[in-house]
Amino acid sequence: NAGVTQTPKFQVLKTGQSMTLQCAQDMNHNSMYWYRQDPGMGLRLIYYSASEGTTDKGEVPNGYNVSRLNKREFSLRLESAAPSQTSVYFCASSGDHSSYNEQFFGPGTRLTVL
């Protein structure tokens, strides 16, 4: 099992460009998450999908959109990238959003917006 995979590992964008970060999990988990990690601020939840077909905003959703393509895949889209979106992005999955919630994380995507 690969667990949670993310592509790409690194990306540099110019302000205003768009891109999609891909995430897939092979653990048959119901819930998937997108976080951003900034120095001194820990992880902040952008969006999550409690189950296939649903998505909800997290703490910092502005400037992002998500798609739960199927049970395995959850993508994060930046329509018009801004320097404030320079960060490391982590995808995670868990069996169930509503109870004990061990989350399994991907290796991260390091995004720089110039």
CB of 61 to another protein, least distance (A): 12
Applying CB under 8 A, does 1 fall inside the site for another protein?
A: no
Q: Which of 23, 60, 92, 113 is the binder for another protein (CB under 8 A)?
A: 92
Nearest to 31 by CA among 91, 95, 76: 95
> What burial letters (b/e) apply to 36-57, b meaning 16+ CB within 10 Å?
beeeeeebebbbbbbeeeebee
Are 85 and 65 contacting, i.e. CB atoms less than 8 angstroms apart? no
Q: x/- contact string, 32-51, with another protein (CB under 8 A)?
A: --------xxxxxx--x---
The token pair that represents 82 in the structure block: 């801004």
Cβ-based nearer residue to another protein, 40 or 53: 40
Interface contacts to another protein, rule CB under 8 A:
4, 40-45, 48, 58-59, 90, 92, 97-108
